[in-house]
Amino acid sequence: MNGAHDLGGMEGFGPVIPEPVHAPFHAEWERRVLATTVACMAMGVWNIDAMRASRENLPPPEYLTSTYYEIWFKGLVSRLLQEGLVSAAEVESGVAEAPGRPVPNVFTADKVAPGLAAGSRYTRDPDRPAAFVAGERVRAREMNPTHHTRLPRYARGKAGVIEAVRGFFVFADANAQGLGPQPQWLYTVRFAGRELWGPEADPTLSVSIEAWESYLEPAD
């Protein structure tokens, strides 16, 4: 979280208006964008963290004025261009100018149901003990990376308490950059509202985030 999408704690963007849970799509093209994104992910050319980073890296004015599935579509086009699977001219015209580049996997119809049922495994076997335990006070590091990160800006430099040790998982920041899984311990960290937002915040408020070990340091 280091781009226009990281709006936690910011003001001036209007209220959050939840949509009906039974209406995930507003138009047929949104269904097609989701299906196309999943099919392209299954090619094995990039991973889920790289795809997420492509959406996050959209220019802020474009990101903030796009709908949810417009962001998905633009992120997919950006990733396809970056990987050399299409050209800018092909995107503009909608017509292939040359045979497609071979990819590791083609998500044919017979693979859809078993592929979606299988999902992807992001847990790994630990090769070292966790640095923190439940109940321990920690502080989120002050960091401002230029690449994809899952540490929200509002939590950086703030002290919280480890609620739970969740396990050993693929480290999204490294995975998004194509640097391999580089797994780390993952924790749930609870922050008091007043720690995050100051003395005027609701004293009963707390916020919990999932944080990788490299995001954290001892609070004391």
pLDDT tens sequence across 23-64: 889 999 999 999 999 999 999 999 999 999 999 999 989 999
Considering the segment(s) 28-118 as one domain, its CATH architecture is Orthogonal Bundle (1.10)
pLDDT, tens digit (0-9, with 9 covering 90-100), for 54-102 = 999 999 899 999 999 999 999 999 999 999 999 999 999 999 998 888 9
DSSP category for residue 123: B
Taking the model in full, what pTM does it have?
0.87
- Start-to-end C-alpha separation, the chain: 26
DSSP characters for 17-37? -PPPTT---SSHHHHHHHHHH
At the topology level of CATH, where does 137-218 sit? SH3 type barrels. (2.30.30)
> What ranges do the domains of the chain cover?
28-118, 137-218
Lookup result for tokens 């640097």:
179
